[in-house]
Amino acid sequence: MKTYLVSLARTYAVRIKANNRNDASRMAEYFVSTPDDLSNKKEREIYNFEIKKISMVANDAVDAELS
């Protein structure tokens, strides 16, 4: 068997409560990794946000090359 390096492009839809659109975008970018919420209770209190749901909406292999 050969070994390949596969590049993936994933898109997530994140439902998040926040004070405004900008804060929602920033908190989602910072605290979402894979389909997990990486924030903890203290961070949610400090930045006043709550991630409600994370759904992967696209998962595409964009390249595969021999590694």
Helix H segments across 1-67? 21-31, 41-47
User: What pLDDT is stored for residue 35 in this prediction?
Assistant: 77
Token pair for 12: 């997530």
Does residue 52 or residue 36 have the better pLDDT?
Answer: 52
In this predicted structure, the answer to whether residue 60 has a pLDDT above a threshold of 90 is yes
- Summarised one tens digit per residue, pLDDT across range 23-43 is 999 999 999 877 789 999 999
Task: Please list, in sequence order, all residues whose beta carbon lies within 8 angstroms of the beta carbon of residue 4, skipping any fewer than 6 positions away.
Answer: 64, 65, 66, 67
Give 9's contacts (C-beta < 8 A, 6+ positions apart): 58, 59, 60, 62
Q: Give me the count of residues in the chain.
A: 67
- Residue spans of the domains in the chain: they are 4-66
